[in-house]
Structure 1
C-alpha cells in the first residue's frame, strides 16, 4: 500500500484478537468495521434459506474483510467468520469510508484485492462443481498452508465439512485417502501437511491460478 494511503488509515487502526467463529461480517446488516487479518483465517460463507452452507471466499494475512465497502456498498452479501483464530487490525467502517473518499489511489489498490478474491471465488465454484472431494480438499489445505506459518492446521472435520459443502463422513474418507498417500497426518482437531508437492499434484490443476493472479495484482502470498 502506498505510504500516503497507509497514513490515512493508521490513526484508526486498532489491534484485536480473532477468536474461533467470531463473526466478521453478517449478511443484510451494515458493515461495522473492516479487518486486515494478520494471523488466522476468515471464511466467507454463503448459505441458503434452508440452512445449507459452503465456503466461497478464503482470507488470510494477504487480505481484508468488508470488501463491499471498497465497491461502494455498506453490506456484505455473505457471512464472514473466523475459521482459524488469530489477530487483526480493525478499522471502523466510517473511518475506512472517509479514507476511501479522500484517496482514489487507496480505493484502486484495494480493488486489486477484490479482483483477486473474485478470481478465487470463481475457481472455488468451478472445482466444487467438477472436481472430486479429495482434489478439492487438497486445494483447500494448500490455501491454508499459504496463510498459516508451519505445517500444523487446527481444524475439525465438522468445520471442513462446512467449508467444502459436504457431509462430515465424506470429509473423513477424503482425509483418510490423503493420509494413506502420506500427504498429510490427521489428528483430532489438527491436520499436519507432510507433502505439499503431492497435494499440488492431487489438486489436479485447481490450485495456482488465483494465487498467480494475486501475485500479479499485489505481490507474493506465503506464510512459510
Structure 2
C-alpha cells in the first residue's frame, strides 16, 4: 500500500500533476545515449548489447520497490529517476537522482540485492535494462565495465552525502535551486513539467515553502512557473542562487567520469 501511496503523490492518475507527459518512441534512442554505455570499449559494448532490452519509462512508474529484489539494472537514455526513502509515518524525501549519466539497480551487483527505498520515474523517458544475474556474470570477465560502475558508484555516493548535508543546513530556496539545476542537467529542455506538490514531496518539505521560493525566483526573473510547469529563464542566475552542493557534486562527476573517459564530443 505504501508503494501505491508514494507513487500517487508523484504522479496523479487523473492526468494532472504529472512530472512529464509520456514520450513517443517510434524510433527508440540508441543505448549509447547512456553515458556509461557510451564509455565502454567497443568490444565490451558489443558483448553487452544482445542482453539489453529497451523499455519506455512513464512518469510515476516504480522501477524498484522498497526492499524488493532488484532483478534488473536500468541504463537511462532519457528521463530521470528519483531514489526516494520513506519513513514509517509516510514522510519521504529524494536522496539521489539519476539521468542518462547513470544506472538504476546497483544493489543487485553490489551484493545487497535490494534497498529500503524506491526508484520512481520522475520524468518520462527511456531506458535499456539488463537482468542483474546476467550483468553479474559479465562483470567477472569485463574489467572495463567493473571500473566504470565503481567510478559511477563513488560519484553517486558523493551526491547522496552532499544532499544529506544540504537538506540539513541550507535554505529551501537553495535546495530548490539545486533540484532545478539537477533536473536541467538531465533533460534537453528548460521547460520542466513538474508541480509544486511533486517537488515538495521529493524535497521532503512543505508545499507552501516551495511555492514561496518559486515566487521569489520568479520576481528575480530566474524562472516562470505555471500550472504543472516550471520554465527556467536564466540558468546563470539560477546557478548564482544555488548553494555549493550543486558544484561539489558536479565536479565529482566530472572528475570520476570526465569527458575524455566518456568519449563525449
TM-score bucket (shorter structure): over 0.9
Deviations 1:28-68 (A, max 9, x none): 11112111111110000011111110000010010010011
Name the residue aligned to 2:93.
54
Work out the CA distance in 2 between the residues paired with 1:8 and 1:99: 9
Unaligned 5+ residue runs, structure 1? none
Q: Find out whether 1:136 has 2:175 as its counterpart.
A: yes
Aligned partner (choices 156, 161, 177) of residue 216 of structure 2: 177
Q: Find out whether 1:15 has 2:54 as its counterpart.
A: yes
What displacement does 1:73 show? 2.3
Maintained 8 Å contact 1:70/1:111: no
Work out the CA distance in 2 between the residues paired with 1:108 and 1:77: 26
Work out the CA distance in 1 between the residues paired with 2:94 and 2:45: 30
Q: Find out whether 1:88 has 2:132 as its counterpart.
A: no
Aligned pairs for 1:35-114 within 5 A: 35-114=74-153
Work out the CA distance in 1 between the residues paired with 2:108 and 2:167: 28
Scaled by the length of structure 1, what TM-score is found?
0.94
Work out the CA distance in 2 between the residues paired with 1:156 and 1:209: 27
Maintained 8 Å contact 1:71/1:111: no
Maintained 8 Å contact 1:70/1:110: no
Q: Find out whether 1:196 has 2:235 as its counterpart.
A: yes
- DSSP-derived class of the 2:55 partner: strand
What displacement does 1:98 show? 1.7
- DSSP-derived class of the 1:34 partner: strand
Scaled by the length of structure 2, what TM-score is found?
0.80
CA RMSD of aligned residues (A): 1.4
Maintained 8 Å contact 1:185/1:193: yes
Decide whether aligned partners of structure 1 residues 7 and 76 sit closer, same or farther in structure 2, where only a CA change above 3 A counts.
farther
Between 103-112 and 17-26, report the one with greater CA deviation: 103-112
Work out the CA distance in 1 between the residues paired with 2:44 and 2:201: 37
Work out the CA distance in 2 between the residues paired with 1:155 and 1:44: 17
Name the residue aligned to 1:159.
198
Maintained 8 Å contact 2:71/2:108: no
Maintained 8 Å contact 1:119/1:210: yes
Deviations 1:52-95 (A, max 9, x none): 10000010010010011332221134211100111111112222
